[in-house]
Amino acid sequence: MKIDANCDLTNLNNIAPAPFSTFIHEYIHFIQDTTSTFGLVNANIIGNRLKHYVKEVEINYGPSFPVSVPIAKDHVTQINRNLQQVYMGQGQLIPDAMNPSDVK
């Protein structure tokens, strides 16, 4: 966890209210990201996305690649991205081309 504060955060009893509030706010995000179902699912989705990008670059681009590496709409990474939008209350429940037999 990184907090950009102009004070020493090693002793929370001796800091001003604003940096203390920022610390508590960010600490709650940290706890949510490491202990909740949402945080674990989100970490898994991000990890899978990174693995996909690395593999895609190794196979199709080599040492020189575009900044935006595309994800095929039938790739499991894209399907998880679509599902993440549903989990967050956005998107449609059954996105186009979401046939489990088509998942790569």
Identify the domain containing residue 79 by its residue range.
Answer: 37-102
Residue 24 lies in a domain: no
Domain count, the chain: 1
Q: Is the pLDDT of residue 100 over 60?
A: no
Which among 87, 2, 6 has a CA at the least distance from the CA of 45?
87
**pLDDT (tens digit per residue) in 15-43:** 888 888 888 998 998 999 889 988 888 88
Of residues 102 and 34, more confidently modeled = 34
Q: Residue 53: name the closest of 39, 70, 78, 35 by CA.
A: 70
Q: What is the mean pLDDT of residues 78-97?
A: 68
Q: Is residue 91 part of a domain?
A: yes
List pLDDT tens digits, range 46-78.
Answer: 888 888 888 888 888 777 777 776 777 777 777
Query: Does this model's pTM top 0.75?
Result: no
User: Which one has a higher pLDDT value, 92 or 79?
Assistant: 79
Q: In angstroms, rounded to a whole number, what is the distance separating the alpha carbons of residues 65 and 55?
A: 12
| CA-wise closest residue to 25 among 9, 41, 3 | 3
| pLDDT at residue 102, rounded to an integer | 57
Q: What is the pLDDT of residue 28?
A: 93
The CA distance from 69 to 64, in Å, is 11
